[in-house]
Amino acid sequence: MELEHIIEAILYVAGQPVSLRDLARALERDEAQISAAAGRLETYYDDSCRGLRLKRFGGHIQLATRAEYAPFIERLLQPVQRQSLTQAALETLAIIAYRQPVTRLDLEAVRGVKCDYSLQSLIKKDLVKEVGRKDTIGRPILYGTTDSFLSHFGLRSLEELPDPPEETQAGPDDPEEETEARYEQLML
């Protein structure tokens, strides 16, 4: 169990997500060993109903407090309220989450309006990032979600996104209704 204790100490001191790759390199182990030890640590926290839990998302792990204890922590620390996302930003985020990688023009084609402000807001909040360039005229930037997006929505990977609803009578010819339905699923 020593490896789990070392990982726990590192995560406690780091206070932020740590990649499995970085842990493997620092501890001179392979990622499979680190992942298995993290799994045992996660089970330990869950089985013993501790105030902490181990969060896994993307290729990262993090120590975090249990959600059910948030009201008690907030009463003591009275944290500054985090600014919420606008409806436009949430819609843009849902499109990116389900269709990534996408260009700004792809987003605007689906939403039917400019997305510059929403896109920049999502990038500043580290929910979206540039993931490359499309191999076409002008080489537009491609956008995708980040590990912070996964963490924020409590997902381990994009495969855990809720399935988009079956095509409705609007069908694929009505991207606004399709996106709205996907957004609603993502926000559940």
Residues in the chain: 188
Same domain membership, residue 174 and residue 93 = yes
Does any domain span residue 37?
Answer: yes
Does any domain span residue 17?
Answer: yes
Residues 160-166, mean pLDDT to the nearest whole number: 77
Q: What is the pLDDT of residue 127?
A: 93
Q: By three-state DSSP, how is residue 122 classified?
A: helix
- Cα angle value 147/22/143 (rounded, 5°): 25
Same domain membership, residue 59 and residue 22 = yes
Q: What is the pTM of this model?
A: 0.55
Same domain membership, residue 92 and residue 179 = yes
Residues 64-86, mean pLDDT to the nearest whole number: 75
Same domain membership, residue 45 and residue 96 = no
Residues 123-138, mean pLDDT to the nearest whole number: 92
Distances (CA, A) of 121 to 43, 44, 54, 56, 171: 36, 38, 28, 25, 30
Same domain membership, residue 101 and residue 54 = no
Distances (CA, A) of 40 to 2, 5, 13, 14, 53: 11, 11, 19, 19, 12
Please give the tally of structural domains in the chain.
Answer: 2
> What is the Cα–Cα distance from 92 to 105, expressed in whole angstroms?
12
Domain that holds residue 153: 87-187
Query: How confident is residue 164, by pLDDT bands cut at 50, 70 and 90?
Result: confident
What rounded mean pLDDT belongs to the chain? 84
Q: By three-state DSSP, how is residue 131 classified?
A: strand
Same domain membership, residue 61 and residue 123 = no
Q: Flag whether pLDDT at 138 surpasses 50.
A: yes
Same domain membership, residue 167 and residue 92 = yes
Query: How confident is residue 35, by pLDDT bands cut at 50, 70 and 90?
Result: very high
Residue 117 identity: Y
Q: Flag whether pLDDT at 181 surpasses 90.
A: no
Q: Flag whether pLDDT at 173 surpasses 70.
A: no
Q: What is the pLDDT of residue 168?
A: 41
> What is the Cα–Cα distance from 93 to 107, expressed in whole angstroms?
10
> What is the Cα–Cα distance from 117 to 119, expressed in whole angstroms?
5
Q: Flag whether pLDDT at 18 surpasses 90.
A: yes
Query: How confident is residue 165, by pLDDT bands cut at 50, 70 and 90?
Result: low
Does any domain span residue 82?
Answer: no
Q: What is the pLDDT of residue 85?
A: 80
Same domain membership, residue 172 and residue 128 = yes
Does any domain span residue 146?
Answer: yes
Q: CATH no. for residue 151?
A: 1.10.10.10
